[in-house]
Chain A
Amino acid sequence: MRAFSLLAALAVSATASLAATVQYDFSVEWVQANPDGAYDRSFIGVNGAWPPPPIECNIHDRVIINVTNNLGNEPTAIHFHGLFMNGTNSMDGPVWVTQCPVPSGSNIIYNFTVDQPGTYWYHSHFSGQYPDGFRAPFIVYDRDEPFADAYDVDTYLTVSDYYHNSIPWLSANKFLILTNPTGAEPIPDAGLFNDSQNIKFKVEPNKTYKIRIINMGALVSQYVWFEDHDFQIVEVDGIYVEPAEASMIYITVAQRYTILLTTKNSTDKNYPMVTSFDTDMMDTLPDDLVWNVTGWLTYDENGEFPEPALIDEYDFYDDFNLVPYEKEEPYEPDYSITVDVSMQNLGDGVNYAFFNDLTYVAPNVPTLYTVMSSGNDSTDATVYGSNTHTYVLGYQEVVEIVLNNFDPGKHPFHLHGHVFQVVERSDASPDDETFLTYNPDEPGTINEYPMRRDTVYVRPNGYFVLRFLSNNPGVWFFHCHIEWHLQQGLALTLVEAPAEIQAQQVIPDDHYAACKAGGYAYEGNAAGNTVNLFDLTGEKLQPKPLPAGFTARGIVALVFSCISAFVGMGFITWYGLSDLKTTEREVAAIVGEPLDDSDESK
């Protein structure tokens, strides 16, 4: 095992000998900042600064990030969104999936190569943490990109929603509680452009800018446009596409769009650029929320900065119609997974999110460590737990995910470790009572060369169909990227080619050390049982369902009440039938008449 992986490592390093190594040292700590001018609050920053620095490298580089958690009160972990981590699944980052949370005072090293070009981002993948500020761009430069000669400046632009309070606090006090039975997500307090507001994006005339747009928010999708400037979409989520003319994009959280924007001839005007919340995604729209965030393409710093014009409708480019540069026809699936998305209340009165009838509950041992310690049983999904919703995939198969959305909201779903073909995506259903589900015998629109990316949204009460090739052994998380819904458990686990993971990959010692430092189990099945892998006693399970109908308690109460009523009425009858000697005497005394027993009452 070890010898093989050493050999593989030597082989890889030989071919990558021209590639550089990029090294970062991150001290993760709390930093005060005030991005929207409201007030200072604590953010999770890096090396004393917020926002955290972007990571930049060239394609085929090795990236090494030495992370020390100096937060003092929270663990952390970093996920590099969109990177395949081929052969290094342990570097992917989601806690309880590929690693333990790294407790405060401990450190962890992320060491991987990047063999894919484009725009990515990194963020905390510990429960609800990244909207507290721990997120930033991850840019991979590629000299050989198809439009390498088409632009002058390569830059990035981030958009985000912003909460004044931390997500863990909001979750515990406002969101995942029984007095929020409809699961209404908390409303953001503001929106940000490049972690700031009213930004002046300096541009020179007659130049083409390659702008990598990243949505680093927690909830809200954004409409982004540049007034009077059209552009070409050239890359999404690391996949080059045939340039597509557009004037507006719709970017969900975690998605990236790279555009080429050519500036105008003259410097006489500055043009507003806007990122506008998709207000459908918010339960209510508070009066004091500014949900259109403005910046300016600044040609003239001393000029006017006009307010953006009102628009009649959002005319955005539907990413379903993008054509990848490297064209693939739709795969034929070997293995299909169908999941229905719904939100329901469980027995604690709280609203949870479900794939079919399971809401995700984290295991006691990270799923990847269960793979490494389960020997030949690693292909049996049982060992990974009853509530991790794990599917075991074979190696080099085409896997299909059919997702039917039984919720009237839009959801952006993300698959770690892969891009997927978006084979079909339905429209929203016409009304709240109708649901559109996938019917392979009556397929919807399928493009000749389906679009590929790693984060895609499903429409209300609609469905989508994704396909990908399982050529990347690892444990990969598939989940909604709305941070609230992830807290509600809208996730499942794919264990892809576990035997190959065991054969080809090694978990570094410092990763296990982080588990030990936090007192977490790192071997055995989902319950932590290393002896009998099929004994899941002690695993964490979802709350019991709400009682449907009458329980024993209810029947007893109802019967008892009926008995009370009958007995009570019996007493009244008893009273009605009995003599009233005392009362008669009293009345006789008042009215001055003698008691007359011979007078019968009617």
Chain B
Amino acid sequence: MVNEVFNVSVFFILFRETVEASIIISVLLAFLKQGIGRSSEDPNLHKKLVRQVWFGAALGLLVCLILGGAFIGAWYGLGKNVWSSSEDIWEGVFSLIAGIIISIMGLALLRVNKMKEKWRVKIARALEKGSGTKSARKFTTKYAMALLPFITVLREGIEAIVFTGGVSLSAPAKAFPLPVICGILAGSAVGYIIYKGGSYMKMQIFLIASTCFLYLVAAGIMSRAVWYFEMYIFAKAVGGDVAETGSGPGSYDIRSSVWHVNCCNPNIDGGWMIFQALFGWQNSATYGSVLMYNIYWIAVMICVVALLYNEKKGHYPFMKPKVNPPASPVALSEPLPSKETESV
């Protein structure tokens, strides 16, 4: 039987996690390549920033292996499912952080790539030196390119390890290596296609399309964060039984349900996992998760309007125009070096 060497659930788990991580990393890399890589001024800068991206990803992978290994060890060694009692909180917090970071970086990257080429380079160099006087600010801007991949790979990696560990209780051990490798390869392939797509499409269209995609994924993640927090409260009230009821009655809180279908559960069903990764799909939606999804998009729209207003009028709506224009778009709080010019 195929299922004895290829566990389908494990494949979909790894595929889903890798797709989410590789979308983000590949979009980041494509931005860097188009924005700075084509510049003849400083090829090393591009390499430095690309290295930051991979460094962040690798660090995320390392930390998630350590944490995930600890959970699995506690599970099998001590027989205690440390993860499941607080699983929904972990998921919710991770999702919230990831969603916020993606949202902040998405528009910023889009804006950066609209710059004239030489300014992009200068901005990138400023980025690399780290701008701002406060050390935290300096740190995050200097390593901005590493932070997003780090948090993304960390989250996806822990999810992959823990969910695979959960499935392993009911499956033979030799059914694991093949779907793990295939899932990772398939997910990476999706990321590679996105990265390469940048070279073949008109730059502007590619940037806009990938930013839209990024925000679609972020909206789903934010919606899921709220869903996890609500599920945590319900599961605490019910006790251990929620997990046993699958997708049917009793697995959700009827009081906060907007829709519920007994099928298509992204926590169990392979294909629907991907649907969730891309669009935030839940088979059992709550008021909270639906509201968050819509509020998120409205917030994005408001941000875009505010940014466009600023472009036209020189200041944000409801604020006085600035006497002296502030610093670069990625380090807005820096006091003005108006009399100095940066060494080129």
Contacts and interface: CB of A to CB of B under 8 A. Distances in A.
Q: Which among A557, A578, A588 has the greatest number of chain B C-beta atoms within 10 A?
A: A557
A572 B314 CA distance: 20
Contacts of A587: 115, 119, 122-123, 328-329
Contact of A351 (B250, B290, B325): B250
Interface string B70-93: 000000000000000000000000
Given A578-B311, A582-B314, A573 B293 contact: no
Interface in A514-569: 546-551, 553-555, 557-558, 560-561, 564-565, 567-569
Contact of B254 (A347, A569, A593): A347
A2 interface: no
A585 B215 contact: no
B305 interface: yes
A586 interface: yes
Nearest to B126: A590
Contacts of A580: 111, 114-115, 311
Interface stretch (A6-14, A108-116, A124-132, A594-602): A594-602
A573 B249 contact: no
B3 interface: no
Interface size band for B: 35 or more
B290 A561 contact: yes
Interface string B278-321: 01000001000010011001101100110110111110000000
A591 B305 contact: no
B258 A572 contact: no
B341 interface: yes
B325 A554 contact: no
B1 to A, nearest CB: 19
A579 interface: yes
A591 B41 CA distance: 15
Interface stretch (B15-23, B162-170, B203-211, B269-277): B203-211
A409 interface: no
A576 B301 contact: no
A581 interface: yes
B337 A582 contact: no
Contacts of A571: 300-301, 304-305
B327 to A, nearest CB: 6
Interface stretch (B47-55, B56-64, B135-143, B236-244): B236-244
A568 B219 contact: yes
Interface string B132-156: 0000000000000000000000000
Contacts of A347: 254
Interface residues of A, number: 58
B311 A582 contact: yes
B261 A549 contact: yes
B250 A564 contact: no
Contact of B338 (A179, A585, A589, A591): A589
A550 B262 CA distance: 10
A180 interface: yes
A182 B297 contact: no
Contacts of A585: 314, 325
Nearest to A284: B240
A290 interface: no
A577 interface: yes
A376 interface: no
Contacts of B249: 181, 344-345, 349, 546
Interface in A345-394: 345, 347-349, 351
Nearest to B325: A586
Q: Which among B204, B212, B324 has the greatest number of chain A C-beta atoms within 10 A?
A: B212
A577 B328 contact: no
A580 to B, nearest CB: 5
Contacts of A184: 241
A590 B294 CA distance: 37
A574 interface: yes
A587 B124 CA distance: 12
A178 interface: yes
A169 interface: no
B250 A182 contact: yes
A368 B279 CA distance: 59
Contacts of B304: 571-572, 574-575
Given A344-B249, A565-B219, A583-B111, A182 B119 contact: no
B327 A554 contact: no
A568 B307 contact: no
A584 interface: yes
B342 A601 contact: no
Contacts of B338: 589
Contact of B259 (A345, A558, A567, A575): A558
A599 B211 CA distance: 24
Contacts of A564: 293-294, 297-298
A553 B294 CA distance: 15
B311 A181 contact: no
B231 interface: no
A579 B279 CA distance: 30
B254 A546 contact: yes
A599 B116 contact: yes
Interface in B170-212: 203-204, 207-208, 211-212
A565 B116 CA distance: 30
A551 B259 contact: yes
Contact of B327 (A575, A590, A602): A590
B259 A572 contact: no
B297 A567 contact: yes
B102 interface: no
A15 B80 CA distance: 72
A443 interface: no
A589 B239 CA distance: 60
Contacts of B325: 582, 585-586, 589
Interface of A: 178-182, 184, 344-345, 347-349, 351, 546-551, 553-555, 557-558, 560-561, 564-565, 567-569, 571-593, 596, 599-602
Given A546-B254, A565-B279, A589-B324, 7 more contacts: A179-B238, A180-B238, A565-B297, A583-B115, A590-B126, A590-B337, A601-B114
Interface of B: 34, 38, 107, 110-111, 113-119, 122-123, 126, 203-204, 207-208, 211-212, 215-216, 219, 234, 237-239, 241-242, 244-245, 249-251, 253-255, 258-262, 279, 285, 290, 293-294, 297-298, 300-301, 304-305, 307-308, 310-314, 324-329, 337-338, 341-342, 344
25 contacts: A178-B253, A178-B254, A179-B239, A181-B250, A181-B251, A347-B254, A551-B259, A557-B290, A568-B215, A573-B208, A575-B304, A576-B207, A577-B208, A580-B114, A582-B325, A584-B115, A584-B116, A586-B328, A587-B328, A589-B325, A590-B328, A591-B342, A593-B118, A599-B116, A602-B34
- Of all A-B residue pairs in the complex, the 7 with the closest CB atoms, nearest first, are A181-B250, A554-B259, A592-B341, A568-B297, A345-B249, A576-B208, A564-B297
